[in-house]
Homo-oligomer: A and B are copies of this chain.
Amino acid sequence: MSTLGRVASAEPAAVDPAAPPYNAAQNRIIAAAIELFAEHGVGGTSLSMIADAVGVTKAAVYHHFKMKEEIVLAAAQAELANLEAAIDTAEAEPNRSRAREVLVARIVDLAVERRRMESTLLSDPVIVRFFAHHEPYLRVMDRLYRLLTGEGAVPDARVSAAMLTAAIGGAVMHPLVADLPDEALRSQLLHLARRFLDLPD
Protein backbone atom coordinates (compact mmCIF):
# COMPACT_ATOMS: atom_id res chain seq x y z
CA MET A 1 0.00 0.00 0.00
CA SER A 2 2.62 2.52 -0.89
CA THR A 3 0.33 5.41 -1.47
CA LEU A 4 2.71 7.36 0.68
CA GLY A 5 3.48 10.81 -0.54
CA ARG A 6 2.00 10.14 -3.91
CA VAL A 7 -0.32 13.09 -3.74
CA ALA A 8 -3.29 13.02 -6.00
CA SER A 9 -3.19 16.03 -8.24
CA ALA A 10 -6.93 16.45 -8.17
CA GLU A 11 -6.66 17.37 -4.49
CA PRO A 12 -6.87 20.87 -3.07
CA ALA A 13 -3.35 19.69 -2.25
CA ALA A 14 -3.36 20.93 1.32
CA VAL A 15 -0.39 23.15 0.45
CA ASP A 16 2.40 20.90 1.59
CA PRO A 17 5.37 21.87 -0.55
CA ALA A 18 7.65 20.54 2.21
CA ALA A 19 9.99 23.32 1.18
CA PRO A 20 11.56 24.78 4.32
CA PRO A 21 14.19 26.99 2.68
CA TYR A 22 12.77 30.42 3.33
CA ASN A 23 14.50 33.76 2.80
CA ALA A 24 15.14 36.43 5.41
CA ALA A 25 11.94 38.35 4.79
CA GLN A 26 9.92 35.18 4.99
CA ASN A 27 11.62 34.20 8.22
CA ARG A 28 10.73 37.51 9.82
CA ILE A 29 7.12 36.91 8.90
CA ILE A 30 7.24 33.40 10.28
CA ALA A 31 8.77 34.55 13.55
CA ALA A 32 6.11 37.19 14.02
CA ALA A 33 3.40 34.71 13.15
CA ILE A 34 4.63 32.20 15.71
CA GLU A 35 4.37 34.72 18.53
CA LEU A 36 0.92 35.80 17.48
CA PHE A 37 -0.34 32.26 16.98
CA ALA A 38 0.87 31.41 20.47
CA GLU A 39 -0.94 34.37 21.96
CA HIS A 40 -4.18 34.34 20.02
CA GLY A 41 -4.33 30.94 18.43
CA VAL A 42 -4.09 30.33 14.69
CA GLY A 43 -7.73 31.14 14.10
CA GLY A 44 -7.52 34.29 16.17
CA THR A 45 -4.56 35.69 14.27
CA SER A 46 -5.16 37.77 11.17
CA LEU A 47 -2.82 38.71 8.38
CA SER A 48 -3.12 42.33 9.43
CA MET A 49 -1.81 41.44 12.86
CA ILE A 50 1.12 39.63 11.30
CA ALA A 51 1.79 42.45 8.85
CA ASP A 52 1.67 45.04 11.63
CA ALA A 53 4.04 43.02 13.79
CA VAL A 54 6.54 42.81 10.95
CA GLY A 55 6.01 46.45 10.09
CA VAL A 56 4.71 46.06 6.56
CA THR A 57 1.34 45.90 4.86
CA LYS A 58 -0.77 42.87 4.17
CA ALA A 59 0.07 43.08 0.48
CA ALA A 60 3.75 42.79 1.27
CA VAL A 61 3.10 39.67 3.28
CA TYR A 62 1.14 38.22 0.39
CA HIS A 63 4.14 38.79 -1.79
CA HIS A 64 6.01 36.19 0.28
CA PHE A 65 3.22 33.76 1.01
CA LYS A 66 0.30 33.08 -1.27
CA MET A 67 -2.06 32.11 1.54
CA LYS A 68 -2.36 32.29 5.29
CA GLU A 69 -2.27 28.53 5.37
CA GLU A 70 1.29 28.61 4.07
CA ILE A 71 2.36 30.77 6.96
CA VAL A 72 0.68 28.44 9.41
CA LEU A 73 2.48 25.52 7.86
CA ALA A 74 5.82 27.30 7.92
CA ALA A 75 5.36 28.29 11.54
CA ALA A 76 4.47 24.77 12.57
CA GLN A 77 7.42 23.34 10.68
CA ALA A 78 9.76 25.87 12.25
CA GLU A 79 8.75 24.76 15.73
CA LEU A 80 8.96 21.15 14.67
CA ALA A 81 12.50 21.81 13.46
CA ASN A 82 13.52 22.82 16.97
CA LEU A 83 12.31 19.52 18.27
CA GLU A 84 14.07 17.71 15.46
CA ALA A 85 17.34 19.45 16.26
CA ALA A 86 17.07 18.23 19.86
CA ILE A 87 16.53 14.71 18.57
CA ASP A 88 19.51 14.98 16.23
CA THR A 89 21.75 15.91 19.13
CA ALA A 90 20.42 13.10 21.28
CA GLU A 91 20.85 10.51 18.57
CA ALA A 92 24.48 11.48 18.24
CA GLU A 93 25.11 10.23 21.77
CA PRO A 94 26.87 6.87 21.88
CA ASN A 95 24.70 5.08 24.41
CA ARG A 96 20.99 4.86 24.97
CA SER A 97 20.60 6.16 28.47
CA ARG A 98 22.85 9.11 27.77
CA ALA A 99 20.78 9.88 24.68
CA ARG A 100 17.61 9.99 26.72
CA GLU A 101 19.19 12.31 29.24
CA VAL A 102 20.29 14.71 26.57
CA LEU A 103 16.95 14.60 24.83
CA VAL A 104 14.92 15.33 27.91
CA ALA A 105 17.19 18.17 28.96
CA ARG A 106 17.00 19.71 25.51
CA ILE A 107 13.26 19.48 25.32
CA VAL A 108 12.85 21.04 28.74
CA ASP A 109 15.20 23.86 27.80
CA LEU A 110 13.35 24.43 24.59
CA ALA A 111 9.98 24.51 26.27
CA VAL A 112 11.01 26.88 29.04
CA GLU A 113 12.97 29.13 26.74
CA ARG A 114 10.12 29.59 24.38
CA ARG A 115 7.45 29.22 27.02
CA ARG A 116 4.11 29.36 25.34
CA MET A 117 5.23 29.24 21.74
CA GLU A 118 6.55 25.78 21.13
CA SER A 119 3.72 24.31 23.11
CA THR A 120 0.76 26.40 22.15
CA LEU A 121 1.58 26.11 18.51
CA LEU A 122 2.00 22.37 18.54
CA SER A 123 -1.27 21.98 20.44
CA ASP A 124 -3.36 24.33 18.34
CA PRO A 125 -6.29 22.39 16.91
CA VAL A 126 -5.59 23.59 13.41
CA ILE A 127 -2.00 22.44 13.58
CA VAL A 128 -2.74 19.19 15.36
CA ARG A 129 -5.15 18.26 12.62
CA PHE A 130 -2.62 19.16 10.01
CA PHE A 131 0.19 17.17 11.60
CA ALA A 132 -1.93 14.13 12.30
CA HIS A 133 -1.21 12.86 8.79
CA HIS A 134 1.96 14.76 8.08
CA GLU A 135 4.71 12.27 7.27
CA PRO A 136 7.70 14.36 8.38
CA TYR A 137 5.99 15.04 11.70
CA LEU A 138 5.21 11.39 12.22
CA ARG A 139 8.82 10.47 11.49
CA VAL A 140 10.09 12.98 14.03
CA MET A 141 7.69 11.60 16.59
CA ASP A 142 8.77 8.08 15.79
CA ARG A 143 12.38 8.97 16.47
CA LEU A 144 11.28 10.74 19.63
CA TYR A 145 9.53 7.82 21.17
CA ARG A 146 12.19 5.39 20.13
CA LEU A 147 14.69 7.49 22.01
CA LEU A 148 12.46 7.86 25.02
CA THR A 149 11.44 4.28 25.36
CA GLY A 150 14.10 2.32 23.59
CA GLU A 151 11.36 0.48 21.82
CA GLY A 152 9.40 0.63 18.63
CA ALA A 153 5.97 1.98 18.02
CA VAL A 154 4.20 -0.19 20.53
CA PRO A 155 1.19 1.49 22.12
CA ASP A 156 2.77 1.82 25.55
CA ALA A 157 5.68 3.72 24.15
CA ARG A 158 3.44 6.02 22.22
CA VAL A 159 1.35 6.90 25.25
CA SER A 160 4.45 7.46 27.29
CA ALA A 161 6.00 9.75 24.69
CA ALA A 162 2.75 11.61 24.22
CA MET A 163 2.41 12.14 27.95
CA LEU A 164 5.93 13.34 28.48
CA THR A 165 5.92 15.81 25.63
CA ALA A 166 2.45 17.00 26.59
CA ALA A 167 3.52 17.31 30.21
CA ILE A 168 6.53 19.43 29.41
CA GLY A 169 4.87 21.47 26.72
CA GLY A 170 1.65 21.94 28.63
CA ALA A 171 3.23 22.70 31.96
CA VAL A 172 5.24 25.69 30.77
CA MET A 173 2.18 27.46 29.52
CA HIS A 174 0.00 26.51 32.45
CA PRO A 175 -1.50 29.44 34.37
CA LEU A 176 -0.44 27.73 37.58
CA VAL A 177 3.23 28.31 36.86
CA ALA A 178 2.95 31.60 35.02
CA ASP A 179 4.64 33.51 37.81
CA LEU A 180 7.54 31.12 38.34
CA PRO A 181 10.93 32.36 37.18
CA ASP A 182 12.36 30.43 34.26
CA GLU A 183 15.16 28.82 36.20
CA ALA A 184 12.91 27.45 38.93
CA LEU A 185 10.51 26.13 36.35
CA ARG A 186 13.28 24.59 34.31
CA SER A 187 14.93 22.71 37.14
CA GLN A 188 11.72 21.41 38.60
CA LEU A 189 10.44 20.38 35.20
CA LEU A 190 13.65 18.57 34.41
CA HIS A 191 13.62 16.82 37.74
CA LEU A 192 10.09 15.56 37.30
CA ALA A 193 10.59 14.60 33.67
CA ARG A 194 13.63 12.54 34.60
CA ARG A 195 11.68 10.86 37.31
CA PHE A 196 8.95 10.04 34.81
CA LEU A 197 11.55 8.26 32.73
CA ASP A 198 13.13 6.54 35.71
CA LEU A 199 16.39 8.32 35.16
CA PRO A 200 18.63 8.64 38.23
CA ASP A 201 18.58 11.89 40.18
Contacts and interface: CB of A to CB of B under 8 A. Distances in A.
Interface of A: 38-45, 116, 120, 123-126, 128-129, 131-132, 137-138, 141, 145, 155-156, 158-171, 173-178, 180, 184-185, 188-189, 192-193, 195-196
Given A40-B125, A145-B176, A162-B171, 16 more contacts: A41-B124, A41-B125, A42-B44, A120-B123, A123-B123, A137-B175, A155-B184, A158-B180, A159-B188, A160-B188, A163-B171, A164-B167, A166-B169, A169-B170, A170-B170, A192-B196
Contact of A126 (B44, B170, B174): B44
A63 to B, nearest CB: 25
Contact of A159 (B126, B145, B158, B171): B171
Most B CB within 10 A of own CB, among A116, A120, A165, A171? A171
A147 B193 CA distance: 20
A137 B175 CA distance: 10
A178 B132 contact: yes
Contacts of A131: 175
Given A40-B125, A43-B40, A44-B43, A177 B160 contact: no
A44 B137 CA distance: 23
